[in-house]
Chains A and B, each alone.
Chain A
């Protein structure tokens, strides 16, 4: 995938996130603050604006634009955590004009490690980590098995979706949901849902642009 294709793919992700505001709000209202959808839509509306004007000189520049825009405009825990997903994996990389499956695995693995450290969340805490970690593991397996970009992103999206689904089984350790105790069981985490939406749109974009 070229850096320009990567830009177009994340542009589609940004549009998808903006259009998911109502759905995320509905999920978050059950056990969260109810503002996750608003925050994500706000952040990705800015990402869309920035990406539309960006000359995709490198894959890293695309990731950085997405991450820094989220970090600078969103606020809240989500601004830092979703910004981390796009920034921490590329912060020490040389610029590349192309990205392959193994690069996605490397970048997101590094982001995941920083995310877990920064957010202090473990798998099973009913957070975005529950969707992100399975997607990263899936990408690593795909890289090892030399799968195509399409195969890899399809699998990663499925893993993120299952991970997001699984958050229904957990009690929460963070945010408003924590105060629900056992009553949080049965409800899906909004942050994990956003991770799924990101990977799903990446996968959908590749399927449509093969």
Chain B
């Protein structure tokens, strides 16, 4: 039992309470539901995210400058109820419409689809983007079946930039759909996570083994093998991403290393080094590289790499700062 909470049934509302204080006035809670929004929302297309808690700091930590305007916060590993999403929708500026940025999981899709209908009945225009970036969760012939994972961080940041620039809802949707299709994520898990609800280990992964493409609740991945070297892992993840996204020499990419909570900056730096070299060898331009913990379960070890294939249009929106307590990305290094 490793968790630190007061009362289990209050853990999400307590988290929101603490987070609002932590933000020093930059975010506020949405009354009556488990949700937050920015205090200084602008009149523009609003970006609303939502999902289950437990994949820190998603979704609560994705609200901020250059990021989302509001977030519906679900219980641990459980999509937020439609009511929470609808309340965020009503509270953020919605005159110019709302774009929902969501991971492709049944519970999230069902609730956001329902809210889009309900919002429509209230005269609020919405579009939904379901990111399906986990390249190992289904083949390239059935991409719509793929899960959404860490690529949501890049997509949310792009959504903040695209809407801050004053784009219309339709143009926002077009740009973000394109961005969504240009993002892939490939993961390797080397130690299991624990549940913040029960404090117990979520699934078994024997010592000395690692698994590629494993889901965050222990969903079977594509390969379980002995733990190998940092270089070997970097190559496997990068080769998989380059192939899936169809990246060729001369193309430009940004890569985000999302280190799981138990994997050190030492290990991540070694892996990052090999990623950079590999791109150089293949004559692929490295536009930007970031190492951040932006989609991680407690106690797990390993990492995921998200890759964004850039073109001029996306590059323009990529190169903007983002600022929230757990999500600080400066402009391109």
Known interface pairs A176-B215, A179-B220; A35-B106 also in contact (CB < 8 Å) = no
- CB B280 to nearest CB in A, in angstroms, measures 36
**Are A76 and B82 within 8 A (Cβ)?**
no
- CB B260 to nearest CB in A, in angstroms, measures 19
User: Is B79 positioned at the interface, with any CB of A under 8 Å from its CB?
Assistant: yes
**Are B81 and A74 within 8 A (Cβ)?**
yes
User: Is B111 positioned at the interface, with any CB of A under 8 Å from its CB?
Assistant: yes
From 70 to 84 in chain A, residues with beta carbon under 8 angstroms from any chain B beta carbon are 71-81
Query: How many cross-chain pairs have Cβ atoms below 8 Å apart between A and B?
Result: 62
**Are A75 and B78 within 8 A (Cβ)?**
yes
From 79 to 125 in chain B, residues with beta carbon under 8 angstroms from any chain A beta carbon are 79-84, 106-107, 110-111, 113-114
**Are A179 and B215 within 8 A (Cβ)?**
yes
Q: With a CB–CB cut-off of 8 A, which chain B residues contact A81?
A: 110
Size class of B's contact patch? Answer: 20 to 34
- CB B224 to nearest CB in A, in angstroms, measures 13
User: Is A118 positioned at the interface, with any CB of B under 8 Å from its CB?
Assistant: yes
Cα distance, A180 to B110, chains bound together (Å): 23
Size class of A's contact patch? Answer: 20 to 34
**Are B82 and A77 within 8 A (Cβ)?**
no
Known interface pairs A118-B110, A175-B106; A76-B219 also in contact (CB < 8 Å) = no
**Are B215 and A75 within 8 A (Cβ)?**
no
Q: With a CB–CB cut-off of 8 A, which chain A residues contact B80?
A: 75
Known interface pairs A80-B82, A176-B219, A179-B219; A75-B111 also in contact (CB < 8 Å) = yes
Which residue from B75, B106, B217, B219 sits with its C-beta under 8 Å from A75?
B75
Cα distance, A73 to B110, chains bound together (Å): 15
User: Is A33 positioned at the interface, with any CB of B under 8 Å from its CB?
Assistant: yes
User: Is A124 positioned at the interface, with any CB of B under 8 Å from its CB?
Assistant: no
Mask of A46-89 contacts with B, CB within 8 angstroms, 1/0: 00000000000000000000000001111111111100000000
Cα distance, A71 to B83, chains bound together (Å): 8
Which residue from A38, A71, A78 sits with its C-beta under 8 Å from B82?
A71
**Are B220 and A35 within 8 A (Cβ)?**
no
Q: With a CB–CB cut-off of 8 A, which chain B residues contact A102?
A: none
Cα distance, A70 to B26, chains bound together (Å): 32
**Are A180 and B78 within 8 A (Cβ)?**
no
**Are A75 and B81 within 8 A (Cβ)?**
yes
Known interface pairs A39-B78, A73-B81, A75-B79; A80-B219 also in contact (CB < 8 Å) = no
- CB B78 to nearest CB in A, in angstroms, measures 4
Cα distance, A71 to B215, chains bound together (Å): 26
Which residue from A38, A75, A118 sits with its C-beta under 8 Å from B107?
A75
**Are A35 and B78 within 8 A (Cβ)?**
yes
- CB A57 to nearest CB in B, in angstroms, measures 23
User: Is B259 positioned at the interface, with any CB of A under 8 Å from its CB?
Assistant: no
Cα distance, A43 to B218, chains bound together (Å): 25
Q: Which residue of chain A has the shortest Cβ distance to B112 in the bound complex?
A: A80
Which residue from A73, A79, A175, A179 sits with its C-beta under 8 Å from B111?
A79
User: Is A119 positioned at the interface, with any CB of B under 8 Å from its CB?
Assistant: yes
- Knowing that A77-B79, A78-B107, A80-B107 touch, tell me 4 more A-B residue pairs with CB under 8 angstroms: A38-B197, A75-B111, A80-B110, A175-B106
* 25 examples of A-B residue contacts, CB within 8 angstroms: A33-B217, A71-B81, A71-B82, A72-B82, A75-B74, A75-B75, A75-B79, A75-B81, A76-B74, A76-B107, A77-B79, A77-B107, A78-B107, A79-B111, A80-B107, A80-B114, A81-B110, A119-B106, A119-B110, A174-B106, A176-B217, A176-B218, A179-B215, A179-B219, A180-B220
Interface residues, chain B, with chain A CB atoms under 8 Å away:
52, 74-75, 77-84, 106-107, 110-111, 113-114, 197, 215, 217-220
